[in-house]
A and B are shown apart, each in its own frame.
Chain A
Amino acid sequence: MASMATASTSLQARPRQMATAVRCFSQGSRNNLSFTLRQLPTRLSVSCAAKPETVDKVCEVVKKQLSLKAGDEVTAATKFAALGADSLDTVEIVMGLEEAFDIEMAEDKAQNIATVEEAAELIEEILKEKA
């Protein structure tokens, strides 16, 4: 009797599993939405990253401040240290940027800047607050 009882419950369980499986399938068509959802993070990161013109301006200031040659490549990912800048140079770069963009950078934030992109992002953040 006991074995019969377990058999009947297992039979009852199976349709329930089927039901969930079907529900998954019905959501399967909606899974197409996840494609659009997946694009969102990239779009967000684009809007977070600095505008190209800001990055260009930062690159220019960095080049001027470190007196690099025109041919030297400075991109968004360039680290100041890779250009041969020490911490004193970084302070000078930050001061130059403050002047070029007519802003004031908080000291604790300015000390965390190590790349062109980080500088550009911080600048845009400040400009947004100012506006």
Chain B
Amino acid sequence: MGATKLSGMQKQVLSLYRGFLRAARSKQTTEDRRRIETIVSTEFRKNSKEVDRKNFQYIEYLLRLGHKQLDQLKSPDMVSISSVKIN
């Protein structure tokens, strides 16, 4: 994968992913860290498969949502995140 192949939106997503992994790194215990990393990674991978790559509006919404969650995760008293599946 070269940079030339990545669209601006893909770069935004990857940058968000980096942000999440960085935030996870800043957490105190390795246990918290691993948990966050696993959740973030599964979420990104799930969306990368499920979301249609042409569905820009939805991807943009997910990006905004992600940034909001990242801001919350960055605060030091936020220890972990969890994902809840609602059927």
Contact = CB atoms under 8 A, between A and B. Distances in A.
Q: Are A and B interaction partners?
A: yes
Interface of A: 80-81, 85-88, 90-92, 94-95, 99, 107, 111-112, 114
Contacts of A88: 14, 17, 41, 44-45, 48
B6 interface: yes
B14 A91 contact: yes
Contacts of B1: 80-81, 85-87, 90, 114
Interface in B1-57: 1-3, 6, 10-11, 14-15, 17-18, 21-22, 25, 41, 44-45, 48
Contacts of A87: 1, 6, 10, 14
Interface of B: 1-3, 6, 10-11, 14-15, 17-18, 21-22, 25, 41, 44-45, 48
A87 B41 CA distance: 12
Contacts of B17: 88, 91
Nearest to B48: A88
A82 B14 CA distance: 19
A95 B45 contact: no
A85 B1 CA distance: 9
Contacts of A80: 1
Contacts of A114: 1-2
B3 A112 contact: yes
A95 B22 contact: yes
A27 B48 CA distance: 65
Given A87-B6, A112-B3, A114-B2, A92 B21 contact: yes
A99 B41 CA distance: 18
Contacts of A86: 1, 48
